[in-house]
Amino acid sequence: GMELETANAINKSYHKFDQLYDMKKLKLNSVYATGARGNATASYKVMKKDIQIHPSGYSNKAYKQRVSIDRSIRGDYRKKLESKIAKLEASGGSRGEISFYKTELKKEIAKPFKHSWTWTVSDDMADVFAHEFGHHVNYKLAMDGIIDGNELHMIFGGKDTSLSSVAKGTWKRGRKKQALKVSEYASKTVTENFAECWTAYHKGKTDLLFPKEIDFIEGIIEKIKR
């Protein structure tokens, strides 16, 4: 049931990473379509080292439409507030009125989860593959001792390096909210934050990342590049 456009998008993303990185070292086993139902578009299976594409990800066109609609809805109210403020400032509106709308805008930006600019940094199924590949990079290199999994956990928002904290993805105070700068999905868990940051980095959206996150990703790249 997977559309050709989707397969081509995923293949393009895989080829990009294959050109950049030592795939023999990374040893991704397979990428395949699964009939498993659920909300996920794709998923990574740690023990099997597989990336699965779920039915909701079979159509690249449909996925792009969902992302576009989601961002339009999320950004609409903010844009209206910003437009109102700009018009009032240009026309010499009262300080009180301008202050009111600026406060509303500040509240809107500060709202967690539902009012992040976007659910995910992914624009299409090529990016979805990049996200799942980020999970593979995380787990494979940590299990092989090539990177320090605890260090990754801390840099991308983990509370501490205790076994329970790493297993549960417990956030450091304030970092879950900060992850919303990347996307709502990045604020789900520390590992999702890494995968979203990995995707954002490879899309050239480094402005969404903290300097330490960029440094860590580039450190990984040095270890796996061709």
- Cβ-based neighbours of 63, under 8 Å, separated by 6 or more: 6, 41, 56, 57, 124, 125, 128
SS3 content of the chain, % helix, strand, coil (to 5): 65, 5, 30
Quote the pTM value.
0.84
Task: Round the average pLDDT of the chain to a whole number and report it.
Answer: 91
Mean of the pLDDT values across residues 176-188? 90
Q: How confident is the model at residue 110 (pLDDT cuts 50, 70, 90)?
A: low
User: What whole-number distance in Å separates Cα of residue 84 and Cα of residue 197?
Assistant: 33
Domains located in the chain, CATH noted: 4-59+119-224 (3.40.390.10)
Q: How confident is the model at residue 113 (pLDDT cuts 50, 70, 90)?
A: very low
